[in-house]
């Protein structure tokens, strides 16, 4: 659904642009001394509320920590698009869950990717082994995050919600984004009158993710069993994860944190595949690591992953839901009639489809050849995406021409998909990052909606939207998440 940013023609828009697309008046943005003063107060607030991460030098100790970069002010987001993203989340939860249950679809869709990408092949091998052994989980827990940008229409005055991707594995920042609304409210309070009337919506994804895990834990049915967070060996973003962990402890649920290396040494399966780690039965494995090749130091880590996936424990995500979150599946879902295979309600199909940007296959056929030609003719209209997660992997502009020029006719291209580049309207904000001078910048935001669901057998026990995440980056960066050091934490200012 398109939405008007504001009334008036292009000239009026230009005149008012600074003011309308910023949460505070122009004079505040121009006052660098004031911005510095607010930023110092905001950093203190960030530490006071644990908006922090460990240093790159010492990713495994909490003695010296950094604040997680954030915007000084909330960024303008159209209310209609925010509500649309909230509304469609339950539809996306259902869609992902149904895709995960269609094993033939996953096999067919991912054939080309698995052929050309070793990481996807490793995940797929575990999926296939579970199918061969007839192992399915009686309870499925989905914790995902669907990310969007606001695509500006040719009229320059209205935008629509376009999905960038869905993350079904280790979607992060649900913890820290519980505290960022208070940070922005405090900064606006410090400003006094200029900040008046700016609403920052409350947000509690950590509670919601915890609720999802707790529902799954309860259905597992063993009160003494624990939840295990499967974590990286270098864990800079630990405070974000701790928020979800504490939500579980508060509910009386024990939480362990283990790496793949720990699993190799401490985990075992009983004959009925009950998972024990150091003598504690595990009801739910919540993966916060395992989504990228760097998370696996070698074959032993893949064996540990397989052991967990084969166990009776509820794994979040289960192996099929991991595959349902791939970029290749996203591209195939955008083809005519594919969403319709999984979702029968026409209104839900329309809600889902309205968020799709153009997505194109690079398989070794005529369609793939057409995609190569399309991209080579106008590379700046597109983003070329490999089957990777975590930010910083996509290819833009002239690099697309270079890469496709090199591999356009070889099977290597099957490891990628092509997507229309979303062109959002820039908003003005100030990024607070350690070591960078403060200055108002043209920025773009990416809105994430957390999805939580639990299915027991054929019945959806829980299906909800679990809060949001807003990340903002300077316009000059094409790619990038918070972990990749490009985007910073933000909040919507709904207008």
394 touches ligand ADP by CB under 6 A: yes
* 474 phi and psi angles, rounded to 5 deg: -65, 145
Q: Which of residues 100-159 bind ligand ADP (CB under 6 A)?
A: 147, 149
Question: Measured between alpha carbons, how far is 389 from 298 in angstroms, rounded to an integer?
Answer: 19
CB distance 480 to 185 below 8 Å: no
Beta strands 280-287 and 314-316 are parallel
Is the CB of residue 362 less than 8 Å from the CB of residue 372? yes
Checking DSSP bridges between strand 275-277 and strand 427-432, what pairing results, if any? unpaired
Q: 390 an active-site residue?
A: yes
Residue 371 CB contacts under 8 Å (≥ 6 apart), including other chains: 360, 361, 362, 418
- Binding partner of residue 25 among ligand ADP, Mg ion, none, CB under 5 to 8 Å per kind? none
Q: In whole angstroms, how close is the CB of 360 to ligand ADP at the nearest point?
A: 11
Q: Is 385 a catalytic residue?
A: yes
Figure out which of the listed residues 240, 363, 389, 490 binds ligand ADP, where binding follows CB under 6 A.
389
Instruction: Decide if 193 is catalytic.
Output: no
For residues 174 and 45, is the Cβ–Cβ distance under 8 A?
no
- If one asks whether residue 290 binds ligand ADP (CB under 6 A), the answer comes out as no
Catalytic residue among 258, 433, 471, 493: 471
Q: Which of 143, 357, 432, 447: binder of ligand ADP (CB under 6 A)? A: 357
241 labelled binding-site residue = yes
| Cβ at position 421, least distance to ligand ADP in Å | 4
Q: x/- site string to Mg ion, residues 356 to 395, per CB under 5 A? A: ---------------------------------x------
State the nearest-atom distance from the C-beta of 492 to Mg ion, in Å: 18
Closest CA to 286 of 454, 60, 90: 454
Q: Does 490 bind ligand ADP (CB under 6 A)?
A: no
Say whether 167 counts as a known binding-site residue.
Answer: yes
Q: How far apart are the first and last CA of the chain?
A: 16
Assigned token pair, 365 = 């056929």
Least separation in angstroms between residue 391's CB and ligand ADP is 4
Tell me whether residue 207 or residue 446 sits nearer to ligand ADP (CB atom): 446
CB 126 within 8 A of CB 112: no
Pick between residue 211 and residue 388 the one whose CB is nearest to ligand ADP.
388
Cα 189 to its chain centre, rounded Å, is 30
Of 224, 190, 159, give the one whose Cα is nearest residue 35. 190
User: Is 185 noted as a catalytic residue in this protein?
Assistant: no
For the chain, how big is the Rg over CA atoms in Å?
23
Determine if 422 is a binding residue for ligand ADP (CB under 6 A): yes
The strand pair at 158-167 and 139-152 is best described as antiparallel
Task: Report the distance separating Cα 327 and Cα 334, nearest Å.
Answer: 11
Both tokens of 221, joined, read 């049915």
- Contact indicator for 325, 167 with CB cutoff of 8 Å: yes
Annotation says 62 is catalytic: no
Size of the site for ligand ADP (CB under 6 A): 20
Q: 54, 90, 145, 428: which is the annotated catalytic residue?
A: 145
- Residue 180 or 311 having the CB closest to ligand ADP: 180
Query: Binding residues for Mg ion, how many (CB under 5 A)?
Result: 2
Active site residue 145: yes
Distance CA 39, CA 72 (A): 6
Is 258 noted as a catalytic residue in this protein?
Answer: no
Length of the chain: 495
Q: How far is the CB of 328 from ligand ADP (least distance, A)?
A: 12
Q: Does the annotation flag 391 for ligand binding?
A: yes
Task: Closer to ligand ADP by CB, 184 or 421: give it.
Answer: 421
How many C-beta neighbours within 10 Å does residue 396 have? Answer: 15
Q: Is 134 assigned a catalytic role? A: no
Report the alpha-carbon distance of residue 161 to residue 462 in Å, rounded: 25
Q: Which of residues 231-270 bind ligand ADP (CB under 6 A)?
A: none
290 binds, among Mg ion, ligand ADP, none (CB under 5 to 8 A by kind): none
Edge-to-edge strand ranges of the sheet holding 395-396: 359-361, 416-420, 382-386, 395-396
Which class for 252: exposed (0-12), middle (13-18), buried (19 or more C-beta within 10 A)?
A: exposed
Site string for ligand ADP, 153-182 (x = CB under 6 A): -----------xx-----------------
Which residue among 242, 389, 474, 480 is the active-site one?
389
CB of 358 to ligand ADP, least distance (A): 9
Matching residue, tokens 């595959």: 323
Known active-site residue 172:
yes
Query: How open is the CA angle 314-450-302, to the nearest 5 degrees?
Result: 40
The token pair that represents 191 in the structure block: 């400003």
363 is an annotated ligand-binding site residue: no
The least distance separating ligand ADP from the CB of residue 128, rounded to whole angstroms, comes to 24
The single residue among 122, 479, 483, 485 that binds ligand ADP, judged by CB under 6 A, is 479
The least distance separating ligand ADP from the CB of residue 479, rounded to whole angstroms, comes to: 4
Question: Known binding site: residues?
Answer: 145, 165, 167, 241, 327, 385-394, 446, 471, 473, 479
Q: Which residues are catalytic?
A: 145, 165, 167, 172, 327, 385, 389-390, 471
Q: What are the binding residues for substrate?
A: 145, 241, 471
Annotated binding site for ATP: 165, 327, 385-394, 446, 473, 479
Binding stretches for ligand ADP (CB under 6 A): 147, 149, 164-165, 357, 383, 385, 388-391, 393-394, 419, 421-422, 446, 479-481
Bind-site residues for Mg(2+)? 165, 167, 389
């Amino acid at each position: 659904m398109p939405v008007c940013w504001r009334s008036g023609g292009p000239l009026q828009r230009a005149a008012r642009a600074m003011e309308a697309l910023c949460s505070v008046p122009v004079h505040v943005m121009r006052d660098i001394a004031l911005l510095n003063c607010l930023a110092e107060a905001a950093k203190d607030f960030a530490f006071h509320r644990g908006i922090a991460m460990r240093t790159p030098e010492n990713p495994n100790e909490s003695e010296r920590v950094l604040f997680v970069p954030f915007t000084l002010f909330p960024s303008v987001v159209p209310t209609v698009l925010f509500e649309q993203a909230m509304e469609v989340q339950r539809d996306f939860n259902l869609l992902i869950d149904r895709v995960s249950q269609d094993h033939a679809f996953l096999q067919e869709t991912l054939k080309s990717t698995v052929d050309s990408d070793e990481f996807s092949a490793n995940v797929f091998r575990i999926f296939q082994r579970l199918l061969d052994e007839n192992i399915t989980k009686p309870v499925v827990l989905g914790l995902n995050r669907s990310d969007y940008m606001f695509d500006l229409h040719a009229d320059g005055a209205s935008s629509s919600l376009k999905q960038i991707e869905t993350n079904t594995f280790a979607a992060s920042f649900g913890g820290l984004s519980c505290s960022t609304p208070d940070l922005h409210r405090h900064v606006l309070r410090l400003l006094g009158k200029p900040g008046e009337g700016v609403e920052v919506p409350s947000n509690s994804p950590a509670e919601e993710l915890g609720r999802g895990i707790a529902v799954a834990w309860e259905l597992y049915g063993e009160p003494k069993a624990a939840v295990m967070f499967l974590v990286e060996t270098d864990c800079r973003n630990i405070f974000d994860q701790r928020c979800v962990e504490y939500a579980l402890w508060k509910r009386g649920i024990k939480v362990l944190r283990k790496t793949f290396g720990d699993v190799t040494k401490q985990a075992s399966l009983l004959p009925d595949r009950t998972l024990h780690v150091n003598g504690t039965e595990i009801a739910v494995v919540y993966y916060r690591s395992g989504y990228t090749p760097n998370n696996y130091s070698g074959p032993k880590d893949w064996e540990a992953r397989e052991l967990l996936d084969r166990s009776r424990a509820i794994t979040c995500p289960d192996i099929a839901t991991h595959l349902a979150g791939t970029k290749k599946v996203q591209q195939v879902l955008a083809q005519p009639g594919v969403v319709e295979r999984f979702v029968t309600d026409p209104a839900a199909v329309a809600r889902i489809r309205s968020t799709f940007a153009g997505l194109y296959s690079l398989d070794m056929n005529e369609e793939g050849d057409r995609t190569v030609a399309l991209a080579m003719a106008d590379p700046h209209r597109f983003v070329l995406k490999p089957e990777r997660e975590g930010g910083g992997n996509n290819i833009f502009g002239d690099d697309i021409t270079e890469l496709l020029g090199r591999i356009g006719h070889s099977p290597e291209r099957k490891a990628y998909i092509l997507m229309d580049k979303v062109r959002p309207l820039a908003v003005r904000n100030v990024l607070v990052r350690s070591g960078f001078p403060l200055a108002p910048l043209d920025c773009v935001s990416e809105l994430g909606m957390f999805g939580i669901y639990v299915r027991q057998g054929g019945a959806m026990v829980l299906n909800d939207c679990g809060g949001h995440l807003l990340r903002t980056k300077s316009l000059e960066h094409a790619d990038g998440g918070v972990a990749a050091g490009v985007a910073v934490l933000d909040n919507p200012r709904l207008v």
